[in-house]
Homo-oligomer: A and B are copies of this chain.
């Protein structure tokens, strides 16, 4: 009798877990979807204002000081995406004040034309929402990290309209070489609900159209060569951002002065290149690259702008800049190798992202959700190569390495 009872409890545990995470994932997904959509609208609005009034660029140094002040006042200085990753690793708290602070700081960064993305912010906002909701629901120490992952998935999904990528990214980013399988139902549910909410709030999903070159061995060889280049670029990207941040902090230990100087540098760079292509997120340049129309050193300039912006204390994320750098680099090198330039840009976008975040499966899903599936095998091979060759370089220093890539 006792044996049967035990068996029933054991069998019953699975549906109970399913029910719990459909509910909790759905709840966090709903909250994350709403806040993520509002965040998207805020960043977009700031960008519109900047484009309509180009002089706001000159406010950037002051905005930098305000951002530094916000972090000082709320005592979340030094907290970034790594704080969220560490929360998943060690159950550390994600300070709930980080949510409004990174939200406002990112909007201000985009308003002033700093070169940054939205996704680092999305992970922090989402992680904060998930962790806080989990604590309010009195989840245990085994479930709390999953709640944090739920929030990351939900806000990422709402911002980019890529729910499967968002869910898989959250499961994959925490450790190199380990996939967080227990997050499947929680993350997927949160990402899905976040996505549906964002659609209801009229956030357009990010989509591109790229021509399909068809599968053949020679094109694959060219893609492999391009992916090797992308791996190198992803290393440059990560190292560039990290080194700039480290040197800036050493030269200018005061965060107010640092942010002010960073703002001045971005203004100077902008005047120097004579275009605002490298300010803000630059999604329209990504679109042009995937249309095959970007040449030259745009990728390196974006890398420089982003390194200065993020390194000197502005906020946002590194993912859209990595899209930008990858797409422009792929457009140029792909075209040079003889690939259709737009297709090269698409490969470059996904491969540099993969090398920077060390998430090959999420990157393959990203290629599917952004571009459709015509060239899945090219993207998969490019991701595999960029993942391997980027070595232990990555955007997030808290990402633990549990298994060797080789």
Contact = CB atoms under 8 A, between A and B. Distances in A.
A380 interface: yes
Interface in A348-406: 360-361, 364, 368-369, 372-373, 376-377, 380-381, 384-385, 387-389, 391, 403-406
Contacts of A178: 178-179
Contact of A380 (B11, B188, B406): B188
Given A217-B196, A368-B368, A406 B177 contact: no
Given A192-B220, A377-B164, A185 B14 contact: no
B388 A185 contact: yes
Contacts of A137: none
B381 A181 contact: no
A182 to B, nearest CB: 6
Contacts of A384: 184-185, 188
Contacts of A18: 228, 385, 388-389
A381 B196 contact: no
A163 interface: yes
A377 B182 contact: no
A391 B360 CA distance: 27
Contact of A184 (B224, B369, B387): B387
Chain A interface, DSSP helix/strand/loop, else mixed: helix
A13 interface: yes
Contact of A181 (B376, B385, B405): B405
Nearest to A163: B377
A13 B373 contact: no
A22 interface: yes
Closest 10 CB pairs of A and B: A184-B384, A179-B179, A177-B181, A17-B406, A373-B373, A185-B384, A14-B389, A188-B384, A164-B380, A14-B391
Interface of A: 11, 13-15, 17-18, 22, 163-164, 167-168, 176-179, 181-182, 184-185, 188-189, 192, 196, 215, 217, 220, 224, 228, 360-361, 364, 368-369, 372-373, 376-377, 380-381, 384-385, 387-389, 391, 403-406
